[in-house]
Structure 1
Amino acid sequence: MTVSTLSAAANITPVVIRTLYLHSKRKRKGKKTRSEDKAHALDNIFFDEAFNIVKAFILLGTKNTVESLQAFTNTHVPAPPWAAVVPVLIPFASCNTAADTLIKWFGPEDIKHVVGGERWWQVRGLDGGDGEWIAEKEQLTDTNDKSEEGKHSWQEKTIKKMEQLDRVLFYVHGGGYFWGSINTHRYQIIRYARMINGRAFAVNYRKAPQYPWPCPLQDVLAAYLYLIDPPPGSAHRPVPASKIVFAGDSAGGGLCLATLTLLRDMGLPMPAGAVLISPWVDMTHSFPSIMQNTHTDIIPPHGFLAKPSTLWPMDPTNTTARVVPTTTNPPPKPGHADVLVPQADRPRDDADLDGAAAGLGATDKPKPQAEMMKMYGAKDDVSDPFQPSDDKGESSPIGRGPGQVGAESNDDNLETREPKPSKVLMKDPNAIPLELRSQIHLYATNEQLSHPLVSPVLQSSLCNLCPLYIIAGDGEVLRDEVIYLAHRAAHPDQFPVREGVIRDGWRQKENLQRFTTPTKVHLQVFDDMCHVLTVFTFIDCANYAYHSIADFVKHVTDSSPEELEENPFPGPSKPSRSNTVGKTHPEKESQGCRKADTGDVAGDITADESGNMRRGSPIANGGLHPGTIETGKRGQEMIRERVDIYGNVRPMEPMQDVQALQLKPSEIGIIKEDPLNKWLSGQKQWDKRFKKTSRKVLGKRLKCETKAKTMIDNARDQGLVLEGDKDTINTRPKPERSSSTTSVRTIRGAIQADRRWGPLDLAEENPPSTAIANRRDTADALSLLKKTIYHSAPVTHKTLPTLKTSDAIKAAFDPNDDPFRPPRQSASEQQTRSFMNLHGLSVWESLIRLFIRKSAVKVANGTR
């Protein structure tokens, strides 16, 4: 069974009934007759149902293949009639500019050793990036320019109408970096656009594992460059960066933050602000909440697992060696590097040579963690690799972590190393360290998980960014990393990055010196809320969040730089109600309904000596916000707040009482034993459950490889010539050149001048094993290969061959192929089409509107 509307309905219906029964049972027993100040979010039957529906759906996704979840969540769903939605293709020109920026950021060594080359991640199936302009129809007015009639398509006309709305919300959706799309988030984005009296631009970035890091990062950067510097022929005029606000949830929040650091580092225009909703910024899961909040969040207890398929996991039958004790003393075997950049003088091809490099005999047994620490520089009196080691009492790692031999520092003051993926930090210092032998995340390889553009919380500096409004749920597994991120950005001196990050990245060391101005941050943690609370648009605190986000967007886009320096966030007044223009639809009327009293946001609050806020004397207009920590000048403040389920705001507790802020820098960005075992226990269940399926996967991959080889051989026979071929035959058919200077056209396709690389151009590259560009063993890889050979070829192809008759006949009988048109690309990139009028995403949107109307009626009747 795949993820579909019917399977989702069959899976979720029992959940709805069971939740209703349990909710009623709890209420009858009197557990919900508490005083209002102790009320829980699940007291609301609508939230209780929605929470369990979302949780059940995500769990259903883990029981199916990655491909089916991607296809379901990237199915095109029509927008509601009151919304103006225009799909656009972000051109190659913007994509190539983004690629050049990334290549320059990495530098020649990192782009080769860390990323695996500069070509593979630029390969794509579509003729550009997928994006959408979104606005409220009633906020658009005709230009009444008669001279323009007939010159533009309806899409271009609509985009030009949208330009009257100068504010732009640049939205990056979430979904664990491998699922979700514009379609899963369009309803939320439409609401944002209406509430800010502006327009939104959403990017449908390529998804892992077919397009792993840095593919999504390139797409987000390309979309932003497309807004501020559109290539000739674009339908919209350049949008000033000062009128753009980034917004993203979960994985989208992490991509937003990584993009902001790129813009800062490369001196590109920074947006006016950014809204980060439950951003996923630590792929190593090194914070406590990842273990503590499993039962109060919608994220599956074992993370994002999947039914085996040709796509994922890469090693479906490796059921006994996913995590093993270190078999040799460090450095580990090839493909499981403990350092991001392999050292030139390090032997990497033989385990015995590894032992010799570590000063060990070939037969030496692996040593316990504590002994390794002492071998590689730890003090004799310390067995914990993460204890304070200097006279000032500051936290710093002592001794090299497991696996750090052979990577000597260029800085004499840094004589220690921390363990890096794939090595695992053990709780017991006398235990043999574990080592990962299976890729744990779809987004990036194990070795890349601690890279600052993969886990932005590990950026050496989060300073000099635009104002950040950061939201987290108190019950989500990512809570601690979000809280820590906010404090690191606002208080860099109190929360330094661990030393290994600085050592491993030349740019990180440089940034630590270049960027020192604290970023202005408004952090709000919402009581009882799970991951991405804005999904539940009908509850009071989520409604409060929407209005607060809208006020923030309007404030940072309407204020001058001088005003933002003095007051980076909206004043202490309550979020505004006037967020619409003209009349609204009944659905939108209930959507905009919010609790009349959202809490005393402005009232008598002052700062005590600890930097926390307390009730006291009133503050004059323009004074400190509730929860503000004052660090000197007015423009350097951080707002720290908690929000209850009704939208009432209160100050956050002092920093010394926040668990996440007590971690030492050396503990962050390290794979630890408990989170690893949490994933491994679930993976073992999946290995057992899908044992037969795993064996079948290998056979399917072999068949795809055979088809790929046949396709390439036939293309060669039909005249395919690549750049650099030495055996070019003059008799091979040559394509006719069109009058255009940008392409060489044939009957069915074109050699596109702006398409730089294709799957056949990666001989010297070392991409991740999941990357579709270098694979030949999946149906998605075959579709990409066929399109770039016969339909949309890169400039490295000198000819565009004609499909053999026998291959055309086979394609006619293949439901996933076509003899005349380009094959449909992977659902990780291209939106799919539903043959049903009623799709699950539309059903969810209808349920949300129903919940909103019901909640609005209760508020109006005074029953809630």
Structure 2
Amino acid sequence: MAVDPKDIATLTPKFLSTVYKHFKNDIPDSNWDLKLHLSVTMLRGFLQRGKHKTIEKHQKFLGKAHIPSPPSVSVKKAIVPETCRSQAEDIMAGLLSGQEEKVGWRWKEDPMKQNPLKGEWVESKNRKKLTSTDRVILYIHGGAYFMGSAAQHRFLVQKVAKAGVARAFSFDYRLAPQSPFPAALVDTLAAYFYLIQPPADAGFDPINPKQIIVMGDSAGGGLALSIMLVLRDAGLPQPVGAVCWSPWIDLYHSLPSIFSNASTDYIPNGFVHKASPANPIKNYKNVQERLDRVQYYAYNSALSIPYVSPILADDLGGLGEIFITCGGSERLRDESILLAHKAAKTHPEIFECKKPGVRSYPPTKISLNVYEAMPHVFQLFLFHPAASNAIKRTGAFIQKIIPEPTNDVSSCSSHSSSPHSSFSSSHHHREIEVNINSNILKQKKSSSSLSLQFIDEELDDINEDGEVNYFTNKHIDINGNCKRTNDMLDEGTLHEWVNMLGKLPDLEAHPEFMDI
């Protein structure tokens, strides 16, 4: 993340203080080297200084900030047609029917829709020489739903695209608080429709959903999970899978790591900014005013909607294969861990949906990687071995679920029905078939573009009886080495965490949460 030059003078004392503390062995985590310690401190300081600026100024600066791409990377601009957004609005209106009061605003009349939905294609220029299959990543940038841009995250997108031997499409969804939920989700759905049913002048053919990976970091990871739920619930073709880096999926901040990992992460206790026309919180020092609107992204009444907080969905089964990476020392760690257990239904007695009238789905196949000592979206720190390792593992996952073509014609055929016909659906659920073929794993192992190290590890997706392991959990050290595999939380802890969901933090027990 870029730093405003005006902040450098303010952050310099933090820099010097951190160096002093590090050499005095006063380190939040003993596994941190000086470079990581400094990086976390500086990023935390930058975010904390946001309260002295307006949201509008913050968004404007970050919208322009980005690291230039190397000559080996191709970047092509694009605009998503308004017809795609209209189709997305119709889908969301159907799914949110009856919940208009909870959503809290007339979202279909958002004046920010006057701005076109802009995106960009990012890929290595030699991609087609390295692969005979078309892998497409729909990348959703993070930024707490109210900051960031496709250009700002391009330095990460191009790394992932290269690792996955894929091309990526990222876009600038509408930001909160000017455009709260469901604006960002509508734009994400519109971008997906753009890929599977592009206009004639788009410059590419319709993309088979089975060739698409939805991916995001932080808030973008939350949107990736949300769109998977939307497509499942609306009966529309799902992408083959999703990649979520440190996904933000519990906007209540319900779980223990929000407090326990505060000293080892750069995420502040709350995102607050100077009063401005866009800011719904005019006085962030007023505790009650802040509690009346705890997130810029959504009204308090909307936080329980599963498309806002995906971890609150009654059933997280029936989704495409999901790869989740989080830091062991980040504040959102517990959300990732609980999501993985809930989606994979590791404990059916806890996670099997038994509500009358609510459909129950088969387990979702989950791969969870927890990196020791790492903060939120640690992939930002490209200099660190854990970051480069996580990007390589992400690329291996992308190549695994969208493999090179085989002699089996059906494996690379187009989707059986036109994407256009799907939009006539009356929002019925569709059954998700899980069909894992061990022969595909053997074929992938021979691919010269994929690391044998990671493919060997992925062979535990299939157990000795040839059955699918729906839950794969790896604990990885700071150098990228797998320490433990398939640890599961005990039933008691899972019950406790599930009971915590959907409640705002206990501020009497944790008054420091209001300390900005």
TM-score, shorter chain, exceeding 0.5 = yes
Deviation at 1:278, TM superposition (A): 0.5
Deviation at 1:479, TM superposition (A): 0.7
Output aligned runs, 1:796-807, within 5 Å: none
Per-residue CA distance 1:60-117 (angstroms, 9 max, x = gap)? 223322122211111164433332111111110111111111112222x224654544
- Say if 1:496 and 1:665, in contact at 8 Å, map to a contact too: no
The 1:79–1:526 alpha-carbon spacing in structure 2 relative to 1, beyond 3 Å, is: same
Deviation at 1:224, TM superposition (A): 0.7
Deviation at 1:191, TM superposition (A): 1.1
Deviation at 1:41, TM superposition (A): 3.3
The 1:439–1:668 alpha-carbon spacing in structure 2 relative to 1, beyond 3 Å, is: same
Deviation at 1:571, TM superposition (A): 7.7
The 1:9–1:224 alpha-carbon spacing in structure 2 relative to 1, beyond 3 Å, is: same
Q: Name which of structure 1's ranges 475-484 and 647-656 shifts more when overlaid on structure 2.
A: 647-656
- Say if 1:134 and 1:200, in contact at 8 Å, map to a contact too: yes
Q: 1:482 is matched with which residue?
A: 336
- Say if 2:89 and 2:186, in contact at 8 Å, map to a contact too: yes
Q: 1:703 is matched with which residue?
A: none
Do residues 218 (structure 1) and 206 (structure 2) align?
no
The 1:554–1:238 alpha-carbon spacing in structure 2 relative to 1, beyond 3 Å, is: same
Which runs of 5 or more residues in structure 1 are unaligned? 33-38, 142-161, 324-435, 503-508, 580-593, 604-621, 684-864
Per-residue CA distance 1:608-652 (angstroms, 9 max, x = gap)? xxxxxxxxxxxxxx8635xx9x79971243101100011111325
Output aligned runs, 1:456-855, within 5 Å: 456-491=310-345, 493-496=348-351, 510=357, 512-513=358-359, 515-558=360-403, 560=411, 565-566=436-437, 578=449, 624=460, 634-652=467-485, 654-657=487-490, 661-663=494-496, 665-674=498-507, 678=511, 681-682=514-515
The 1:202–1:317 alpha-carbon spacing in structure 2 relative to 1, beyond 3 Å, is: closer
Give the share of equivalent positions with the same residue, in percent: 31
Deviation at 1:296, TM superposition (A): 0.6
Q: 1:776 is matched with which residue?
A: none
Q: 2:157 is matched with which residue?
A: 189
Q: 2:10 is matched with which residue?
A: 11
The 1:440–1:571 alpha-carbon spacing in structure 2 relative to 1, beyond 3 Å, is: farther
Whole-angstrom CA distance in 1 between matches of 2:52 and 2:15: 19
Q: 1:772 is matched with which residue?
A: none
One-letter amino acid of the structure 1 residue matched with residue 153 of structure 2: H
- Say if 2:118 and 2:172, in contact at 8 Å, map to a contact too: yes
- Say if 1:85 and 1:133, in contact at 8 Å, map to a contact too: yes
Per-residue CA distance 1:661-683 (angstroms, 9 max, x = gap)? 24253331112323895476326
Deviation at 1:270, TM superposition (A): 1.1
- Say if 1:568 and 1:635, in contact at 8 Å, map to a contact too: no
Do residues 58 (structure 1) and 57 (structure 2) align?
no
TM-score normalised per structure 2: 0.84
Do residues 133 (structure 1) and 4 (structure 2) align?
no
- Say if 2:328 and 2:375, in contact at 8 Å, map to a contact too: yes
Whole-angstrom CA distance in 1 between matches of 2:34 and 2:6: 24
Per-residue CA distance 1:119-157 (angstroms, 9 max, x = gap)? 22475131x21211011124368xxxxxxxxxxxxxxxx
Q: 2:220 is matched with which residue?
A: 252
- Say if 2:102 and 2:301, in contact at 8 Å, map to a contact too: no
RMSD: 3.6
- Say if 1:287 and 1:660, in contact at 8 Å, map to a contact too: no
- Say if 2:337 and 2:368, in contact at 8 Å, map to a contact too: yes
Whole-angstrom CA distance in 2 between matches of 1:166 and 1:13: 46
Q: 2:419 is matched with which residue?
A: none
Whole-angstrom CA distance in 1 between matches of 2:348 and 2:104: 30
Name segments (4+ residues, structure 1) moved above 6 Å: 162-165, 568-577, 630-633
- Say if 2:140 and 2:224, in contact at 8 Å, map to a contact too: yes
One-letter amino acid of the structure 2 residue matched with residue 565 of structure 1: I
- Say if 2:471 and 2:486, in contact at 8 Å, map to a contact too: no
- Say if 1:490 and 1:638, in contact at 8 Å, map to a contact too: yes
- Say if 2:103 and 2:298, in contact at 8 Å, map to a contact too: no
- Say if 2:283 and 2:289, in contact at 8 Å, map to a contact too: no
Whole-angstrom CA distance in 2 between matches of 1:285 and 1:96: 32
Output aligned runs, 1:370-409, within 5 Å: none
Deviation at 1:6, TM superposition (A): 1.6
Deviation at 1:196, TM superposition (A): 1.8
Q: 1:277 is matched with which residue?
A: 245
TM-score normalised per structure 1: 0.52
Deviation at 1:518, TM superposition (A): 0.3
State the SS of the aligned residue for 1:558: coil
Per-residue CA distance 1:419-443 (angstroms, 9 max, x = gap)? xxxxxxxxxxxxxxxxx4x211100
- Say if 1:449 and 1:455, in contact at 8 Å, map to a contact too: yes
Per-residue CA distance 1:152-202 (angstroms, 9 max, x = gap)? xxxxxxxxxx99861111110111111111122110111111222221101
Whole-angstrom CA distance in 1 between matches of 2:275 and 2:440: 47
Whole-angstrom CA distance in 1 between matches of 2:240 and 2:477: 28
Deviation at 1:494, TM superposition (A): 3.8
Do residues 296 (structure 1) and 264 (structure 2) align?
yes
Deviation at 1:544, TM superposition (A): 1.4
Per-residue CA distance 1:188-240 (angstroms, 9 max, x = gap)? 11111122222110121111000100000001000011001112332221111
Whole-angstrom CA distance in 1 between matches of 2:94 and 2:300: 24
One-letter amino acid of the structure 1 residue matched with residue 20 of structure 2: Y
Deviation at 1:555, TM superposition (A): 1.1
Q: 1:451 is matched with which residue?
A: 305
Whole-angstrom CA distance in 1 between matches of 2:287 and 2:161: 50
The 1:645–1:219 alpha-carbon spacing in structure 2 relative to 1, beyond 3 Å, is: same
- Say if 1:73 and 1:183, in contact at 8 Å, map to a contact too: no
State the SS of the aligned residue for 1:650: strand
Which runs of 5 or more residues in structure 2 are unaligned? 405-410, 413-432
Whole-angstrom CA distance in 2 between matches of 1:293 and 1:53: 17
Whole-angstrom CA distance in 2 between matches of 1:258 and 1:454: 7
- Tell me the matched-pair count: 487
Whole-angstrom CA distance in 1 between matches of 2:261 and 2:395: 29
The 1:219–1:14 alpha-carbon spacing in structure 2 relative to 1, beyond 3 Å, is: same
